[in-house]
Amino acid sequence: MEKMKLIKEELLINSQSFKDISLIAKRLSEILEIGDILFLKGSIGAGKSFFARCIIREYLNISKVYEDIPSPSFSLVQTYDNIKPKVCHVDLYRISFSSELEEIGLDNIYEKFLTIVEWPERLGKKTPDRFMQIEFIHSQKTDEERHLKISLEGVNRNDI
């Protein structure tokens, strides 16, 4: 029997504080591995970089590696190949042209790292077939809370 493909599945988690978001990132770090692609969507200040740093900090702590976690806003790509799993944090906010994506070489990165991508909508036609996406939505109640919309694209149910 052929494996059933999960074309798209969504989960909405309402009203999460930054402490809750940090805990969600920690739990997610327990199952992510090399080859996984995590897209983080949301407006500026929605918590994407915070979430990415929480995941990376967890791997640094487990690997007993102590280093800063800079934002890749200007460098576009920040790699952590001295931890397990190896992580590549990509921020595409400053990408204007698809030719700039070629220079980054994401196709090679995806297979060698756990890849966390902020502003994935800038990938356009370069979007991979398989990824997990977390969208950060500002709460109407307070600026201290976010709603998280988690979706899986092209993921085999057996991969979860």
Nearest-angstrom CA–CA distance, 102 and 83? 26
Largest CA distance in the chain: 49
**pLDDT at position 158:** 52
What tens digit of pLDDT does each residue of 44-93 get? 989 999 999 999 999 999 999 988 888 887 789 999 999 999 999 999 99
DSSP helix/strand/coil, 40? strand
pLDDT over 60 at 2, yes or no:
no
Where is pLDDT greater, at 142 or 37? Answer: 37
Omega of the bond prior to 120 within 30 degrees of 0, cis? no
Contact 56, 89 (CB under 8 A): yes
pLDDT over 50 at 3, yes or no:
no
- Helices 48-62 and 18-29 sit at what angle, rounded to 10 degrees? 50
Burial class from Cβ neighbours inside 10 Å (0-12, 13-18, 19+) for residue 13 reads middle
